[in-house]
Amino acid sequence: MSHMIKAGLVGVTGYTGMELARLMVHHSSMELVRVTSRAEAGKRLADIYPFLHRLPLGELVITRPDPADLAEECDVVFLAVPHKTAMEIAATLLEQGVKVVDLSADFRLNDKSVYEHWYATEHTRAGLLPEAVYGLPELYLDQIMGARLIANPGCYPTSAILGLAPALKAGIVETGDIVIDAKSGASGAGRGAKVGTLFCEVADSFRAYGLPNHRHTPEIEQEISKIAGTGITVSFNTHLLPIDRGILSTIYTRLKGSTSIEEVHDIFTEFYSDKPLVRVLPKGLLPETRHVRGTVFCDIGLVVDQRTNRLVILSAIDNLCRGASGQALMNANLVCGLDIDEGLPMAPMMP
């Protein structure tokens, strides 16, 4: 293992950091050599994550984030810190020659002003936006392989964009009538201590939240507009599921003509024929979040409602894995010249 790629992780204590640690346990060509946290520095990883007890990764000592040290020790660094914090660290690391996969929103939006509008803060590193590559490998494989800064997509956008891409590319749906009804597990709300995400506030209940202005809206619109070749405004609406992991986006579109389910299914299957991490399900089958739990698969089901001439697209991912750290690892693999799925679990946790 003399040629293991060395990776760093800034921000290990949240759910995305925890997920990346989980995934790295099985990676045979990349290893975590640095994990940082201001609050937990000095502890071993197994001290804060007992599930790593008796595993080599559990012995890794958490350090305070130090760009110089990260740059010296790592080939690639994952940023699992809040937006705004990430942009500064990314810039510093890039200056020192390290490749960066940023899991925050800081480099996802091409337009500085759009970012500043939706995130209500100044973008102080907008100079890096042109070179940041949106890390959705099914759309930007080649660019990712040559990039040094990856803007890892948001969880909801990943499910929405992968679900809509084939239909928009083929031009079979109206671009002015798209509704995305998205539902996410509670890990998407983060690991901060808040009353609203206590067990007793989430379990055995269901609610919408964040309507009508979820911050993932412009990210979705940016990417699907590029695919369609025209500016698209979507109605994007989010709900909180009483599950740990998983996003299901039910996407409502209107067919332009009278496209049959067979034709639609062919379009999607063809679009993803050489992209095995997106699974277009057989006709009649609908995705379930558990079928992708713990994996980077995106499962897509298709329904044509002839009564209303709508195409309903159902897109399921694991919000922590494909929607965050798993996709980050896909991107890091690509950036480092490895196979896209190296180290990634292909079998979901069932049941």
Per CB under 8 A, which of residues 255..284 are in contact with a copy of itself? 276, 279, 281-282
Q: Which stretch binds a copy of itself (CB under 8 A): 30-38, 76-84, 129-137, 230-238?
A: 230-238
Write the burial class of residue 146 (CB in 10 Å: 0-12 exposed, 13-18 middle, 19+ buried): exposed
Q: Answer yes or no whether residue 61 interacts with a copy of itself by CB under 8 A.
A: no
Q: Decide whether 126 or 303 has the Cβ nearer to a copy of itself.
A: 303
Q: Answer yes or no whether residue 287 interacts with a copy of itself by CB under 8 A.
A: yes
Write the burial class of residue 345 (CB in 10 Å: 0-12 exposed, 13-18 middle, 19+ buried): middle
Q: What is d(CA 279, CA 282) in angstroms, rounded to the nearest whole number?
A: 9
Tokens of 15: 């759910």
Q: What is d(CA 106, CA 110) in angstroms, rounded to the nearest whole number?
A: 10
For 64, 144, 177, 221, 303, the CA distances from 253, given in Å and listed in that order, are 47, 30, 6, 14, 10
Helix (H, G, I), strand (E, B), or coil: what is residue 133?
Answer: strand
Of 39, 44, 43, which Cα lies nearest the Cα of 14? 39
Q: Decide whether 69 or 116 has the Cβ nearer to a copy of itself.
A: 116
Among 243, 255, 264, 338, binds a copy of itself (CB under 8 A): 243
Among 194, 230, 231, 270, binds a copy of itself (CB under 8 A): 194
Q: Decide whether 25 or 126 has the Cβ nearer to a copy of itself.
A: 25
Binding to a copy of itself by CB under 8 A, coded x per residue (else -) over 143-182, reads ----------------------------------x-x-x-
Q: Answer yes or no whether residue 214 interacts with a copy of itself by CB under 8 A.
A: no
Q: Answer yes or no whether residue 350 interacts with a copy of itself by CB under 8 A.
A: yes
Q: What is d(CA 242, CA 134) in angstroms, rounded to the nearest whole number?
A: 30
Residue 155 annotated as catalytic? yes
Among 5, 9, 22, 267, binds a copy of itself (CB under 8 A): 22
67-86: which residues touch a copy of itself (CB under 8 A)?
A: none
Buried b (16+ CB within 10 A) or exposed e, 10-33: bbbbbbbbbbbbbbbeebeebbbb
Binding to a copy of itself by CB under 8 A, coded x per residue (else -) over 124-143, reads --------------------
Residue numbers annotated as active site? 155
